[in-house]
Amino acid sequence: MSWSKLKQNLDSFLSPALSGRVEYRSTSYRYLPDKAGLCYIAVDKKNVFNMTDATSLIRWYKTELEIKNDPDIQIPVNHEEIEAIRKETKGAVPEDRLIVIARNRKMTEYAKDLLSAQSALSKSNFVVVANQFLSSPIEESMESNDILLNVLALVDRRVGKKRLLNIAENMKSKHPIVQFFYELRLN
């Protein structure tokens, strides 16, 4: 599918509240056919979704330690996770340390998932993911681990306010770009 047709299809699914604010853009290289162009998403004429742009408003993580030290990321720990660690340590660890251990383990897992999603995104082709989005149900895109699929689903008109409010808890563990588009859509 050509870029203009793909852009037209993506624009047709854009939420009316975001129409005119969110744009899909592409650059291509006419005289360098072996070099792929860049595709990115702009909000209010500012490039927001492009990993390679250093001036981007969204933070792209390079290491697991950056994710663990980011104060904006808050990982909730439930009672079952604390109990699992209590059983592992046979009750020899104080209660306050159990929470720290559980949070650190969960943060490590989260960091690995986040870095994996980012690396998959940097290798992926915007056009391929956009075509996958257009040909699959919206629920699959919402539940996917792919960052771009999540973003495309969040700006989709088929996702209503009620569904957005129902996934608020899940958004806390998503990549900052997904959280950015979630907030944009709520407002």
> In this predicted model, what pLDDT tens digit does every residue of 18-35 receive, in sequence order?
888 999 887 766 665 555
Cβ neighbours, 10 Å, residue 181: 27
Cβ neighbours, 10 Å, residue 142: 19
> In this predicted model, what pLDDT tens digit does every residue of 81-114 receive, in sequence order?
888 888 988 888 888 888 888 888 888 888 877 7
Q: Where are the strands (E) in 5-100, listed by range? A: 22-27, 38-43, 46-49
Asked whether 68 and 107 are in contact (CB, 8 A), the reply is yes
- Mean pLDDT over the full length of the chain: 81
> Maximum Cα–Cα distance for the chain, whole Å?
67
This model's pTM is above 0.85: no
Per-residue tens of pLDDT for the chain, all 187 residues:
777 888 899 999 999 988 889 998 877 666 655 555 566 788 898 888 775 544 455 566 777 778 788 877 778 888 898 888 889 888 888 888 888 888 888 888 888 777 776 665 544 467 788 888 999 999 998 888 888 889 999 999 999 889 999 988 888 878 888 889 999 998 8
